[in-house]
Amino acid sequence: MRTVTLEGRGAFDEWRDAARGLLAAGVRPEQVCWQLSGEGGDLFGTQTEAPMPRAQTLDISVPKGFIEAAEAAICHSDPDRFALLYRILWRLQAERSLLQVRSDTDVADLVRLIKNVRRDSHKMKAFVRFREVDAVQPKRRRFVAWFEPEHFIVARTAGFFQRRFTDMDWLIATPKGSAAWNGQELKTSREPAGRPEAEDETDELWRTYFSNIFNPARVKIRAMQSEMPKKYWKNMPEASLIPDLIAGAERRVQEMAAREASQPPAFHERLQAQWRGREEQSDPDLPPLERLRHEAAGCTRCPLHCHATQTVFGEGPDDAEIMFVGEQPGDTEDLAGRPFIGPAGQVFDEAVAAAGIDRSQVYVTNAVKHFKYERRGKRRIHMRPDAGEVAHCRWWVSKEIEIIRPRIVVALGATAYLSLTGESRPIAEVRGMPIPMQDNRMLLVTTHPSAILRMPDPDLKARSLAAFRSDLGGVKRLFDTLQKVRGPEQGEGPSRGR
């Protein structure tokens, strides 16, 4: 029997080096005892610590996908993960397609570990709450957060926070390691960290966000508790509100049902702006958003411009508090040069109006600014933009956000979510949860109105439409509370005198 002792804090290299050596020496999985350092040895002295063989002599190859899977699974806190991975590695040498056999118990266990790790990582992204602490450098704000993950996911999830919160210094401490960003370098440690003591006014803001985004008509207590399990509550300031909000949900639903939906506004006048080639294009005195619009009119960042009629840029006040981001212009929008004025725009307009939001006061834009389609006869059929096209166009979206500085950004559908976060996720996983963005901005996610239009089942369609409207109602409630809590003139927001 050979004993291998590992730190086991989610570092893949540690396991890989040991596994390579064992495999090179032909040590069968059942002859290896994997243990964590600090766990003590074998009481009966039956195990021997043989020197680890060197792996260089054997050229080990593994099928595509194993390394990625092992890197995720190794972050799990299950003490059997090392043995499982070694067993799979061993078997892969003879069974090259093993990973495709989902009914195999080892593979099923591997898939389960990966799923748990991904879920934990997702929870970390959603539930980390930063608190501001005193700045060290005058121009950079500093934040700390305490989180208690189930698995060793800090290092693999830290990049998400780096991308999302580039402008501030932050530290995320957890009992399973920590991550820190100082604007230049992302440092991660696998050592257990202590809980930083900090509480600030953002705690109150979180409570405000949550109580306003909480949608009594859509509350499904079981689903909510599975999305936001109780074990995370103690580190989330807003969680203290949940019992009362649930208790009052039914009354609020009845109040909502009693209120009549307002009529949708008529379509906005169709004006087609011909920006390209205009003299103002180079006018440095144009307001920043106008200048950006002119620049975007000539955008050739990706090939979509070749077949589209024109760039369809965002529309709305340059100090709007709320920004809606759709996917890409449709056929009607492409011809008219304005976002959300076709069938999806109608669904959008109706829901916005029913929520009591004035469309002329919000900024409406798309993740991708050119219409992507395929021709079928005379018809131009919508095609979903791919990740590369979204990435190219993200430049414009982030400029729009930078100029407008909305307090709330609403992602309409998965493409908008991808554009705004860099992540691909099913909407159901992220819907209804406020997601923090930079500068105290909140991201809310809902479905795309076109997805509702495409639903063949009338019942499902009606339910989805109601859920969409209800989500926009949540946006409005959040907006109203922000107005009350922070005031329209404070910080960022409309009429901010810029």
Q: Considering the complex, what minimum distance in angstroms separates the CB of residue 344 from ligand URA?
A: 4
Q: List all residues 6 or more positions away from 379 whose beta carbon is below 8 Å from its beta carbon.
A: none
d(CA 157, CA 125): 8
Half-sphere exposure of residue 258: CA atoms within 13 angstroms, side-chain side: 6
Q: Considering the complex, what minimum distance in angstroms separates the CB of residue 351 from ligand URA?
A: 13
Contact call for residue 366 and ligand URA (CB under 6 A): yes
* 81: three-class secondary structure by DSSP: helix
Candidate list 337, 342, 432, 434; residue touching ligand URA; CB under 6 A: 342
Judged by CB, which is closer to ligand URA: 346, or 481?
346
* Closest CB to ligand URA: residue number: 326
Site string for ligand URA, 311-340 (x = CB under 6 A): ---------------xxxxx--x-----xx
Interacting span for ligand URA (CB under 6 A) from 210-218, 236-244, 342-350, 396-404: 342-350
Q: Per-residue b/e over 307-338, b at no fewer than 16 CB within 10 Å?
A: ebbbbbbbbbebbbbbbbbbbbbbbbbbbbbb
Q: List all residues 6 or more positions away from 436 whose beta carbon is below 8 Å from its beta carbon.
A: 130, 164, 442, 443
Judged by CB, which is closer to ligand URA: 10, or 342?
342
Q: Are the beta carbons of 188 and 155 closer than 8 angstroms?
A: yes
Q: Considering the complex, what minimum distance in angstroms separates the CB of residue 455 from ligand URA?
A: 15
Q: Considering the complex, what minimum distance in angstroms separates the CB of residue 326 from ligand URA?
A: 3
Number of shown-chain residues binding ligand URA (CB under 6 A): 13
Contact call for residue 347 and ligand URA (CB under 6 A): no
Strand partners for 409:
323, 443
Q: What is the DSSP string of 185-231?
A: -EEEE-S--PPP----THHHHHHHHHHHH--GGG--HHHHHHHS-HH
The number of beta carbons lying within 10 Å of the beta carbon of residue 98 is 18
Judged by CB, which is closer to ligand URA: 447, or 470?
447
The number of beta carbons lying within 10 Å of the beta carbon of residue 381 is 10
Q: Considering the complex, what minimum distance in angstroms separates the CB of residue 411 from ligand URA?
A: 11
Helix (H) / strand (E) containing 21: helix 12-24
Site string for ligand URA, 133-152 (x = CB under 6 A): --------------------
Candidate list 53, 345, 473, 493; residue touching ligand URA; CB under 6 A: 345
Judged by CB, which is closer to ligand URA: 345, or 436?
345
Footprint on residues 418-457 left by ligand URA (CB under 6 A)? 450
Among 276, 357, 364, 282, which Cα is nearest to 318's? Answer: 364
> What separation, in Å, do the N-terminal and C-terminal C-alpha atoms of the chain show?
72
Q: Considering the complex, what minimum distance in angstroms separates the CB of residue 323 from ligand URA?
A: 13
Footprint on residues 450-469 left by ligand URA (CB under 6 A)? 450
Name the residues that contact ligand URA, by CB under 6 A: 326-330, 333, 339-340, 342, 344-345, 366, 450
